[in-house]
Amino acid sequence: MSLKNKLRVVGHTDTGKVREHNEDMIAGDADTGLLVLADGMGGYKAGEVASGLAVKTIVGLVREQMQLENMSRADTGSGLSRAGIILRDAVQRANKIIYQTARSQPQCEGMGTTVVAALFFDNRVTIAHVGDSRLYRVSGERFERVTMDHSLLQELVDRGLYSAEEAQRAANKNYVTRALGVEPSVEVELREMPVQKGEVYMLCSDGLSDMVEDEDIHLTISTFGANLDNVARQLIQLANDNGGRDNISVVMAHVLDVFPARARMLDKILDWFN
Protein backbone atom coordinates (compact mmCIF):
# COMPACT_ATOMS: atom_id res chain seq x y z
CA MET A 1 0.00 0.00 0.00
CA SER A 2 1.44 3.34 -1.04
CA LEU A 3 1.62 6.07 1.61
CA LYS A 4 2.19 8.83 -0.94
CA ASN A 5 -1.02 10.62 0.06
CA LYS A 6 -0.64 9.78 3.74
CA LEU A 7 2.82 11.23 4.41
CA ARG A 8 4.52 14.43 3.32
CA VAL A 9 8.27 13.84 3.25
CA VAL A 10 11.16 16.27 2.75
CA GLY A 11 14.90 16.00 3.19
CA HIS A 12 17.85 18.38 2.99
CA THR A 13 21.57 17.98 3.59
CA ASP A 14 24.39 20.53 3.75
CA THR A 15 28.17 20.32 3.98
CA GLY A 16 28.32 22.90 6.77
CA LYS A 17 30.93 25.62 7.32
CA VAL A 18 34.01 23.53 8.16
CA ARG A 19 34.05 20.18 6.34
CA GLU A 20 35.31 19.97 2.78
CA HIS A 21 32.77 17.40 1.63
CA ASN A 22 29.51 15.90 2.79
CA GLU A 23 29.61 12.42 4.34
CA ASP A 24 25.89 12.37 5.21
CA MET A 25 23.42 10.49 3.03
CA ILE A 26 19.63 10.72 3.21
CA ALA A 27 16.55 9.17 1.60
CA GLY A 28 12.83 9.76 1.98
CA ASP A 29 10.28 7.58 0.19
CA ALA A 30 6.67 8.51 0.91
CA ASP A 31 5.49 5.66 -1.32
CA THR A 32 7.13 2.99 0.85
CA GLY A 33 6.87 5.03 4.04
CA LEU A 34 10.62 4.85 4.65
CA LEU A 35 13.00 7.56 5.89
CA VAL A 36 16.75 6.91 6.25
CA LEU A 37 19.68 9.07 7.36
CA ALA A 38 23.31 7.98 7.67
CA ASP A 39 26.32 9.97 8.90
CA GLY A 40 29.56 8.46 7.61
CA MET A 41 33.00 8.54 9.15
CA GLY A 42 36.55 7.40 8.50
CA GLY A 43 39.23 8.16 5.93
CA TYR A 44 39.27 10.50 2.96
CA LYS A 45 35.79 10.27 1.42
CA ALA A 46 35.39 6.77 2.92
CA GLY A 47 32.70 8.10 5.21
CA GLU A 48 30.48 8.99 2.29
CA VAL A 49 31.08 5.50 0.85
CA ALA A 50 29.86 3.96 4.12
CA SER A 51 26.80 6.20 4.43
CA GLY A 52 25.98 5.71 0.76
CA LEU A 53 26.15 1.93 1.09
CA ALA A 54 23.97 2.05 4.20
CA VAL A 55 21.20 4.11 2.64
CA LYS A 56 21.26 2.29 -0.70
CA THR A 57 21.13 -1.13 0.96
CA ILE A 58 18.39 -0.29 3.45
CA VAL A 59 16.16 1.45 0.89
CA GLY A 60 16.63 -1.33 -1.67
CA LEU A 61 15.96 -4.22 0.70
CA VAL A 62 12.97 -2.62 2.42
CA ARG A 63 11.32 -1.77 -0.90
CA GLU A 64 11.94 -5.29 -2.19
CA GLN A 65 10.60 -7.04 0.91
CA MET A 66 7.56 -4.81 1.34
CA GLN A 67 6.55 -5.55 -2.27
CA LEU A 68 7.31 -9.27 -2.14
CA GLU A 69 5.41 -9.97 1.04
CA ASN A 70 2.18 -8.16 0.10
CA MET A 71 2.27 -6.75 3.62
CA SER A 72 -0.74 -7.05 5.87
CA ARG A 73 -1.20 -6.40 9.57
CA ALA A 74 -0.36 -10.02 10.49
CA ASP A 75 1.72 -10.47 13.66
CA THR A 76 4.94 -12.51 13.55
CA GLY A 77 4.67 -13.78 17.12
CA SER A 78 8.18 -12.51 17.87
CA GLY A 79 7.24 -9.24 19.57
CA LEU A 80 8.12 -7.33 16.41
CA SER A 81 5.87 -6.57 13.48
CA ARG A 82 6.86 -7.90 10.08
CA ALA A 83 7.81 -4.34 9.10
CA GLY A 84 10.11 -4.21 12.13
CA ILE A 85 11.84 -7.44 11.17
CA ILE A 86 12.32 -6.21 7.60
CA LEU A 87 13.88 -2.94 8.77
CA ARG A 88 16.15 -4.63 11.33
CA ASP A 89 17.37 -7.19 8.78
CA ALA A 90 18.05 -4.45 6.22
CA VAL A 91 20.21 -2.49 8.69
CA GLN A 92 22.12 -5.63 9.67
CA ARG A 93 22.70 -6.46 6.00
CA ALA A 94 24.02 -2.95 5.42
CA ASN A 95 26.45 -3.48 8.29
CA LYS A 96 27.84 -6.63 6.66
CA ILE A 97 28.28 -4.95 3.29
CA ILE A 98 30.10 -1.94 4.78
CA TYR A 99 32.30 -4.17 6.94
CA GLN A 100 33.26 -6.38 4.00
CA THR A 101 33.95 -3.37 1.77
CA ALA A 102 36.16 -1.77 4.41
CA ARG A 103 38.21 -4.96 4.71
CA SER A 104 38.55 -5.57 0.96
CA GLN A 105 39.32 -2.04 -0.24
CA PRO A 106 42.36 -0.31 1.36
CA GLN A 107 41.02 3.19 0.68
CA CYS A 108 37.94 2.33 2.76
CA GLU A 109 39.74 0.84 5.75
CA GLY A 110 38.27 2.01 9.05
CA MET A 111 35.10 3.48 7.59
CA GLY A 112 31.75 3.27 9.28
CA THR A 113 28.49 5.13 9.63
CA THR A 114 25.69 5.89 12.03
CA VAL A 115 22.15 5.31 10.81
CA VAL A 116 18.61 6.15 11.85
CA ALA A 117 15.61 4.90 9.88
CA ALA A 118 11.84 5.08 10.25
CA LEU A 119 9.38 2.78 8.49
CA PHE A 120 5.70 3.76 8.60
CA PHE A 121 3.19 0.92 8.27
CA ASP A 122 -0.30 0.12 9.60
CA ASN A 123 -0.67 3.31 11.69
CA ARG A 124 2.65 2.58 13.39
CA VAL A 125 6.27 3.53 12.90
CA THR A 126 9.27 1.27 13.40
CA ILE A 127 12.44 3.15 14.30
CA ALA A 128 15.88 1.58 13.91
CA HIS A 129 19.08 3.31 14.92
CA VAL A 130 22.78 2.70 15.43
CA GLY A 131 25.03 5.53 16.67
CA ASP A 132 24.18 9.14 17.44
CA SER A 133 21.96 10.23 14.57
CA ARG A 134 18.56 10.99 16.06
CA LEU A 135 14.81 10.88 15.61
CA TYR A 136 12.46 13.45 17.18
CA ARG A 137 8.65 13.52 17.25
CA VAL A 138 6.17 16.39 17.55
CA SER A 139 2.71 15.26 18.68
CA GLY A 140 0.38 18.14 19.43
CA GLU A 141 2.24 20.43 21.83
CA ARG A 142 4.61 17.67 22.87
CA PHE A 143 8.15 17.54 21.50
CA GLU A 144 10.27 14.50 22.32
CA ARG A 145 13.54 12.91 21.38
CA VAL A 146 12.68 9.28 20.62
CA THR A 147 16.18 7.79 20.21
CA MET A 148 19.02 7.80 22.71
CA ASP A 149 22.56 8.12 21.34
CA HIS A 150 24.91 5.17 21.31
CA SER A 151 27.77 7.32 22.55
CA LEU A 152 30.19 7.59 25.44
CA LEU A 153 28.58 10.86 26.48
CA GLN A 154 25.10 9.31 26.63
CA GLU A 155 26.46 6.49 28.79
CA LEU A 156 27.84 9.09 31.21
CA VAL A 157 24.43 10.81 31.27
CA ASP A 158 22.71 7.47 31.91
CA ARG A 159 25.05 6.85 34.86
CA GLY A 160 24.27 10.26 36.32
CA LEU A 161 27.77 11.64 35.76
CA TYR A 162 26.48 14.35 33.38
CA SER A 163 23.18 16.19 33.34
CA ALA A 164 21.36 16.65 30.03
CA GLU A 165 22.31 20.35 30.12
CA GLU A 166 25.99 19.55 30.73
CA ALA A 167 25.92 17.01 27.92
CA GLN A 168 24.60 19.64 25.51
CA ARG A 169 27.66 21.80 26.24
CA ALA A 170 30.22 18.98 26.42
CA ALA A 171 33.11 18.89 23.96
CA ASN A 172 33.39 15.08 23.57
CA LYS A 173 30.01 14.50 21.92
CA ASN A 174 31.13 12.56 18.89
CA TYR A 175 32.62 9.38 20.35
CA VAL A 176 30.07 6.76 19.30
CA THR A 177 29.98 3.33 20.91
CA ARG A 178 28.09 1.66 18.07
CA ALA A 179 28.25 2.11 14.29
CA LEU A 180 27.67 0.20 11.04
CA GLY A 181 30.71 -1.40 9.42
CA VAL A 182 32.99 -1.48 12.45
CA GLU A 183 32.32 -5.11 13.48
CA PRO A 184 31.04 -8.16 11.54
CA SER A 185 27.68 -7.83 13.32
CA VAL A 186 25.86 -4.98 15.01
CA GLU A 187 23.07 -4.63 17.55
CA VAL A 188 20.27 -2.56 16.05
CA GLU A 189 18.11 -0.69 18.53
CA LEU A 190 14.45 -0.93 17.53
CA ARG A 191 11.33 0.78 18.75
CA GLU A 192 7.77 0.59 17.45
CA MET A 193 5.09 3.09 18.35
CA PRO A 194 1.61 4.14 17.21
CA VAL A 195 1.28 7.09 14.84
CA GLN A 196 -1.39 9.78 14.97
CA LYS A 197 -2.62 12.07 12.21
CA GLY A 198 -0.88 15.45 12.36
CA GLU A 199 2.35 14.25 13.97
CA VAL A 200 5.74 15.31 12.63
CA TYR A 201 8.82 13.08 12.71
CA MET A 202 12.35 14.37 12.15
CA LEU A 203 15.57 12.45 11.57
CA CYS A 204 18.82 14.40 11.88
CA SER A 205 22.57 13.94 11.98
CA ASP A 206 24.64 15.24 14.88
CA GLY A 207 25.62 18.18 12.71
CA LEU A 208 22.22 19.58 13.68
CA SER A 209 21.77 18.28 17.24
CA ASP A 210 25.28 19.40 18.30
CA MET A 211 24.74 22.91 16.95
CA VAL A 212 21.08 23.58 17.78
CA GLU A 213 19.47 22.90 21.15
CA ASP A 214 16.30 20.84 21.34
CA GLU A 215 14.26 23.85 22.46
CA ASP A 216 15.25 25.75 19.32
CA ILE A 217 14.49 22.76 17.13
CA HIS A 218 11.01 22.61 18.65
CA LEU A 219 10.50 26.36 18.27
CA THR A 220 11.49 26.21 14.59
CA ILE A 221 9.09 23.37 13.86
CA SER A 222 6.29 25.17 15.72
CA THR A 223 6.98 28.46 13.92
CA PHE A 224 6.92 27.08 10.39
CA GLY A 225 4.21 24.49 11.06
CA ALA A 226 3.41 22.06 8.28
CA ASN A 227 5.77 23.70 5.76
CA LEU A 228 8.43 21.03 6.24
CA ASP A 229 10.67 22.35 3.50
CA ASN A 230 11.01 25.68 5.29
CA VAL A 231 11.52 23.93 8.62
CA ALA A 232 14.36 21.78 7.29
CA ARG A 233 16.08 24.68 5.55
CA GLN A 234 15.77 26.91 8.61
CA LEU A 235 17.21 24.23 10.91
CA ILE A 236 20.21 23.83 8.62
CA GLN A 237 20.66 27.61 8.57
CA LEU A 238 20.57 27.71 12.38
CA ALA A 239 23.24 25.01 12.58
CA ASN A 240 25.44 26.95 10.16
CA ASP A 241 24.83 30.21 12.02
CA ASN A 242 26.02 28.47 15.19
CA GLY A 243 29.26 27.33 13.58
CA GLY A 244 28.35 24.55 11.14
CA ARG A 245 31.20 22.38 12.38
CA ASP A 246 29.85 19.23 10.75
CA ASN A 247 27.67 18.10 7.86
CA ILE A 248 24.01 18.83 8.59
CA SER A 249 21.13 16.63 7.45
CA VAL A 250 17.40 16.64 8.15
CA VAL A 251 14.67 14.29 6.92
CA MET A 252 11.08 15.02 7.98
CA ALA A 253 7.66 13.41 7.65
CA HIS A 254 4.25 14.95 8.37
CA VAL A 255 1.44 12.43 8.89
CA LEU A 256 -1.42 13.67 6.74
CA ASP A 257 -3.85 10.82 7.36
CA VAL A 258 -4.13 7.40 8.97
CA PHE A 259 -2.76 4.44 7.02
CA PRO A 260 -4.20 1.09 8.24
CA ALA A 261 -2.85 -2.01 6.54
CA ARG A 262 -5.04 -4.27 4.49
CA ALA A 263 -6.54 -7.06 6.58
CA ARG A 264 -6.11 -10.57 5.25
CA MET A 265 -9.14 -12.84 5.10
CA LEU A 266 -8.00 -14.70 8.25
CA ASP A 267 -7.81 -11.40 10.12
CA LYS A 268 -11.35 -10.53 9.02
CA ILE A 269 -12.70 -13.93 10.11
CA LEU A 270 -11.04 -13.58 13.53
CA ASP A 271 -12.50 -10.08 13.87
CA TRP A 272 -15.98 -11.54 13.44
CA PHE A 273 -15.52 -13.61 16.61
CA ASN A 274 -14.08 -10.75 18.71
What would the pLDDT profile of 84-139 be if each residue is shown by its tens digit? 999 999 999 999 999 999 999 999 999 999 999 999 999 999 999 999 999 999 99
Give the C-alpha separation, 206 to 4, whole Å: 28
Specify the pLDDT at position 162.
Answer: 58
CB neighbours of residue 257 within 10 Å: 10
pTM, two decimal places: 0.89
pLDDT at 273: 45
Most confident of 42-56, 74-88, 151-165: 42-56
Average pLDDT over residues 1-19: 94
Cβ neighbours of residue 268 closer than 8 Å, sequence gap 6 or more? none
Residue boundaries of the structural domains of the chain: 7-272
- Looking at residue 274, what DSSP letter applies? -
Q: Band the pLDDT of 268: cuts 50, 70, 90.
A: very low
> What is the tens place of the pLDDT at every residue in 129-184?
999 999 999 999 999 999 999 876 666 555 655 566 655 655 556 678 999 999 99
**Under CATH, what is the fold of the domain 7-272?**
Phosphatase 2c; domain 1 (3.60.40)
pLDDT of 271 strictly over 60: no
The span from the CA of 79 to the CA of 128, in Å, is: 15
